[in-house]
């Protein structure tokens, strides 16, 4: 429809001002329904070039729009020079039939067809259970992956982790200390060790398996491995509970084993971007506009996390992804430019890397900000949150707001917020429709009959139809901007349109043709709700 309107306007412009280059014509959906179904501001943007007042340009364009095809019902000039279009009923019913026939596939797009996209998210090291702090990352990543799939992309979900490093050593030492305590030995708990109760649980398991046989310090790897396995098992369970399934787990260690870390250093050295100072190896980030150079290998010989990060992103590109998306918290924002510079310096197309930065969730407990620390066991886990409010509300909560805004989460109100969470508004609409469907099936026999959507002329019906038809566009928009809250907003509007319809129009008791048209209208509505909720990873219940 947009294309059709653009052609019409371009045609009109050629008649009015043949010598003019046709500009980019933007069509937008007016905020207020009084302004029609679509509008353009071309007259305003052309006012200067044509040296005429926008209003009269608009009048001329409007006068040259062909309304005889039957898809456009009205063309008006309004305000300072907007041109508003109204769609005709037969256009709506044609499109609705299309949506009806598309069935469960309605809304799928081809924008990203044949694109291989990787979304990397969660990527928490296995040092403890996933907390509500990880929740926003996990849910955003998974939902963006889902919407990209709906836009036609071939998507892989990857979880990147590091099981070597200092963190893991401290973790192993913490487990060992608990183990020694459990078998009655004196053991000093390591400084800065992990204090959580889950450490003791892991130690208990090690004790069950190995008894008292792990006294010596040389057994530390056993504790490390037990911790990693136990914690990863929990993480996977938590993710599964949230409706998230990773396609692959990528161990940072791979990058050391296959030599890609060394290769990065060698390549950057060839480009004269590496130097040694104070026993450390530095990357000349100043030549990319930073005010300081960056250490890649510490004087201890241990690389900083930035180095494997670079190698990892090169690895992604070598695996052939058209796009590698990272989901990052605000704390990682500073490293991203370094990675991009290095990847580009190594001769790769860094445009294929993109990052989504979300702002931190501020946890509020008892009216005060609550600082979480995995080490100090000061945290609220996602499992605890889901115990309280369930997986649907948990997902919805993290998706409701734009990733770029700070999000405040009041734990004391979490449950209460759960009970009146707007997610129920959407789910209720779906359940309500299913309930009607059941009654309709008991009352009418529509088998083999085709609905005549032209019968849907009530205001509430027309509004609902228009909403339904927006789904494909909203999915494209959400996928393009990677902002799931736009889909939520749309589903809210759709649900509102449905509830209004429910209030104004009935099915039971109506003549069969109208009842049939309305029933099938609701079939499509339910499909849109289910598809939308599906993209959000939230259930669409038949009963509530």
Q: Does 251 bind RNA (CB under 7 A)?
A: no
Between CA 176 and CA 203 the distance in angstroms is: 7
Sheet-wide strand order for 38-40: 27-28, 38-40, 82-87, 72-78
Q: Does 278 bind RNA (CB under 7 A)?
A: yes
Between CA 42 and CA 60 the distance in angstroms is: 12
Q: Report the residue number, 79 or 89, with the smaller CB distance to RNA.
A: 79
Q: Report the residue number, 274 or 431, with the smaller CB distance to RNA.
A: 431
- Calculate ∠ Cα 513-514-515, nearest 5°: 90
Minimal distance, residue 445 CB to RNA, in Å:
16
Residues 353-372 contacting RNA, CB under 7 A: 359-360, 362
- Window contacting RNA (CB under 7 A); options: 6-14, 15-23, 220-228, 299-307: 299-307
Q: Is residue 149 within 8 Å of residue 531, measured between CB atoms?
A: no
Q: Report the residue number, 178 or 486, with the smaller CB distance to RNA.
A: 486
Q: Report the residue number, 6 or 332, with the smaller CB distance to RNA.
A: 332
DSSP letter at 113 equals T
Residue-wise burial string across 259-287, b where 16 or more C-beta atoms lie within 10 A, e elsewhere? ebbeebbebbeeeebbeeeeebbbbbbee
Between CA 253 and CA 221 the distance in angstroms is: 15
Between CA 22 and CA 385 the distance in angstroms is: 55
- Window contacting RNA (CB under 7 A); options: 14-22, 133-141, 199-207, 492-500: 492-500
Residues 134-193 contacting RNA, CB under 7 A: 162, 165-167
Residues 455-484 contacting RNA, CB under 7 A: 477, 483
Backbone angles phi, psi at 161, to 5 degrees: -145, 165
| Per-residue 3-state assignment (H helix, E strand, C coil) for 453-502 | HHHCCCHHHHHHHHHHHCHHHHHHHHHHHCCCHHHHHHHHHHHHHHHHHH
**Given candidates 101, 248, 286, 435, which one binds RNA under the rule CB under 7 A?**
435
Minimal distance, residue 131 CB to RNA, in Å:
14
What six digits make up the tokens of 338? 């370094």
Q: Does 44 bind RNA (CB under 7 A)?
A: yes
Minimal distance, residue 464 CB to RNA, in Å:
12
What six digits make up the tokens of 361? 């969730």
**Given candidates 1, 10, 29, 472, which one binds RNA under the rule CB under 7 A?**
29
Comparing C-alpha atoms, which of 336, 262, 263, 338 is closest to residue 293? 338
Minimal distance, residue 459 CB to RNA, in Å:
11
- 85 forms bridges with which residues in the sheet? 38, 75
Q: Report the residue number, 29 or 210, with the smaller CB distance to RNA.
A: 29
Between CA 429 and CA 494 the distance in angstroms is: 9
* Total residues at interface with RNA (CB under 7 A): 86
What six digits make up the tokens of 282? 């530095």
- Window contacting RNA (CB under 7 A); options: 2-10, 342-350, 375-383, 434-442: 434-442
Between CA 328 and CA 330 the distance in angstroms is: 6
- 28 forms bridges with which residues in the sheet? 39
Between CA 351 and CA 344 the distance in angstroms is: 9
Minimal distance, residue 438 CB to RNA, in Å:
7
Q: Is residue 544 within 8 Å of residue 431, measured between CB atoms?
A: yes
Q: Does 118 bind RNA (CB under 7 A)?
A: no
The secondary structure element, H or E, covering residue 282 is strand 280-283
Q: Does 485 bind RNA (CB under 7 A)?
A: yes
Minimal distance, residue 307 CB to RNA, in Å:
9
Q: Report the residue number, 95 or 432, with the smaller CB distance to RNA.
A: 432
Q: Does 41 bind RNA (CB under 7 A)?
A: yes
Minimal distance, residue 253 CB to RNA, in Å:
12
Q: Does 436 bind RNA (CB under 7 A)?
A: yes
**Given candidates 90, 305, 415, 449, which one binds RNA under the rule CB under 7 A?**
305
The secondary structure element, H or E, covering residue 28 is strand 27-28
Residues 391-410 contacting RNA, CB under 7 A: 400-402, 404-408
CA separation (Å) from 255 to 100, 119, 121, 320, 364? 50, 19, 18, 17, 39
Q: Report the residue number, 136 or 180, with the smaller CB distance to RNA.
A: 136
Q: Does 120 bind RNA (CB under 7 A)?
A: no
- Window contacting RNA (CB under 7 A); options: 7-15, 208-216, 233-241, 501-509: 501-509
Q: Does 505 bind RNA (CB under 7 A)?
A: yes
**Given candidates 8, 93, 125, 143, which one binds RNA under the rule CB under 7 A?**
125
Q: Report the residue number, 46 or 180, with the smaller CB distance to RNA.
A: 46
Q: Report the residue number, 284 or 298, with the smaller CB distance to RNA.
A: 298
Minimal distance, residue 275 CB to RNA, in Å:
12
């Amino acid at each position: 429809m947009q294309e059709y309107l653009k052609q019409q306007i371009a045609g009109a412009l050629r008649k009015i001002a043949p010598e003019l280059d046709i500009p980019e014509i933007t069509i937008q959906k007016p905020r207020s329904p009084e302004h029609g179904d679509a509008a353009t501001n071309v007259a305003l943007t052309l006012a200067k070039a044509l040296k005429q007042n926008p209003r009269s340009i608009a009048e001329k364009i409007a006068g040259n729009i062909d309304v005889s095809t039957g898809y456009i019902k009205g063309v008006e000039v309004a305000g300072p020079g907007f041109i508003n279009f109204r769609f005709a009923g037969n256009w709506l019913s044609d499109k609705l039939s299309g949506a009806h026939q598309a069935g469960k596939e309605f809304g799928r797009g081809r924008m990203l067809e044949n694109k291989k996209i990787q979304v990397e998210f969660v990527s928490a090291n296995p040092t403890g259970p996933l907390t509500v702090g990880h929740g926003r990352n996990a849910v955003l990543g998974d939902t963006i992956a889902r919407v990209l799939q709906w836009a036609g992309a071939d998507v892989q979900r990857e979880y990147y982790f590091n099981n070597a490093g200092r963190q893991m050593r401290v973790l192993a030492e913490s487990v060992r200390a608990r183990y020694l305590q459990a078998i009655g030995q004196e053991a000093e708990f390591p400084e800065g060790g992990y204090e959580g109760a889950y450490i003791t649980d892991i130690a208990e398991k090690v004790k069950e398996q190995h008894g008292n046989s792990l006294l010596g310090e040389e057994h530390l790897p056993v504790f490390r491995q037990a911790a990693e396995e136990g914690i990863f098992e929990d993480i996977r369970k938590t993710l599964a509970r949230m409706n998230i399934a990773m396609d692959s787990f990528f161990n940072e260690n791979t990058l050391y084993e296959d030599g890609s870390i060394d290769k990065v250093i060698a390549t950057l050295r060839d480009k004269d971007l590496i130097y040694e100072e104070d026993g450390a190896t530095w990357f000349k980030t100043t030549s990319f506009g930073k005010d300081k150079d960056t250490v890649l290998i510490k004087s201890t010989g241990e690389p900083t996390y930035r180095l494997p990060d670079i190698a990892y992103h090169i690895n992604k590109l070598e695996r052939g992804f058209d796009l590698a998306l990272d989901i990052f918290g605000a704390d990682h924002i500073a490293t991203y430019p370094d990675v991009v510079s290095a990847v580009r310096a190594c001769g790769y197309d860094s445009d294929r890397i993109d990052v989504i930065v979300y702002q931190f969730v501020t946890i509020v407990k008892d009216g005060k900000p609550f600082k979480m620390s995995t080490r100090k066991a000061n945290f609220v886990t996602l499992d605890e949150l889901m115990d309280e409010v369930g997986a649907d509300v948990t997902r919805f909560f993290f998706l409701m707001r734009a990733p770029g805004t700070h999000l405040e989460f009041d734990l004391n109100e979490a449950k209460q917020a759960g009970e009146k969470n707007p997610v129920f508004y959407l789910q209720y609409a779906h359940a309500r429709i299913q309930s009607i469907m059941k009654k309709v099936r008991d009352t009418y026999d529509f088998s083999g009959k085709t609905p005549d959507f032209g019968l849907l002329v009530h205001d509430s019906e027309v509004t609902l139809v228009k909403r339904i038809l927006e789904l494909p566009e909203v999915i494209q928009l959400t996928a393009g901007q990677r902002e799931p809250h736009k889909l939520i907003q749309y589903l809210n509007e759709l649900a509102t349109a449905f509830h209004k319809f429910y209030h104004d129009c009935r099915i039971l008791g109506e003549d069969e043709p109208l009842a049939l048209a309305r029933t099938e209208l609701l079939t499509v509505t339910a499909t849109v709700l289910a598809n939308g909720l599906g993209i959000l990873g939230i259930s669409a219940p038949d009963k509530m």
